Amino acid sequence: MPRAGLDPAAVVAAGAALADEVGPADVTMGLLAERVGVRTPSLYKHVSGLGDLNRRIAALALSEAADAVGGAVRGRAGRDALAAAARAFRAFVVAHPGRYAATIGVEPSAPDDPLAVAGRRLLDAFTAVLRGYAIDESDMDHALRMLRSLCHGFATLQAADGFQWSADVDESFEWLIAFADRGLRAG
């Protein structure tokens, strides 16, 4: 019988928190079982194994990032939307580096896979930002990749303490937003 209060969502949430602490590569079923106070075999009542857990953590992270970015851009356009989206995404990745790292390289198995659904929601939020610029529909994929690369690169470098020189990281990020805005307006 599963432990009271322990269900798949609680197991995934605990796994995501653990990934943020130790990194997704160091999450094990044994370590997670210890964290939630059960024996390792009990976890298999909630997830089918480490691969399933990692996919669920990735889906959770994409959904949380989509909520953060989507909420930040609501009612905004142009540079204001760009800045809000970039800041929200950066804040999410810096606060949750392990669960975000779990999203990289994981592919959805079907269009209704929770990974695909959450990924589309995040992509839709960034697409909404780009609608505030005069970007040809044929260039939208390129613009999305550029925007994701800028935000992802900066946030993951910051989360890994990759900016160790004297310039203020927040000033650098604002410079990145201004640079992206100029580029997007230039088309």
**Cα dihedral 129, 54, 94, 165 sign:** negative
* Of 156, 141, 147, nearest in space to 85 by CA: 147
CA distance 87 to 79: 12
For residue range 27-44, what is the model confidence (pLDDT) as tens digits?
999 999 999 999 999 999
Write down the pTM of the prediction. 0.93
Residue where the block lists tokens 């529909």: 137
pLDDT value at residue 2:
47
Does residue 15 contact residue 27 with C-beta atoms inside 8 Å? yes
pLDDT value at residue 5:
75
For residue range 110-166, what is the model confidence (pLDDT) as tens digits?
999 999 999 999 999 999 999 999 999 999 999 999 999 999 999 999 999 999 887
How much is the average pLDDT of 14-32? Answer: 97
CA distance 154 to 146: 12
How much is the average pLDDT of 78-86? Answer: 98
Percentage of residues in the chain with pLDDT exceeding 70?
A: 98
For residue range 94-115, what is the model confidence (pLDDT) as tens digits?
999 999 999 999 999 999 999 9
Its CATH architecture, for the domain 58-186, is Orthogonal Bundle (1.10)
pLDDT value at residue 3:
56
CA distance 85 to 25: 28
Mean pLDDT of the chain: 94
Sequence spans of domains, the chain = 58-186
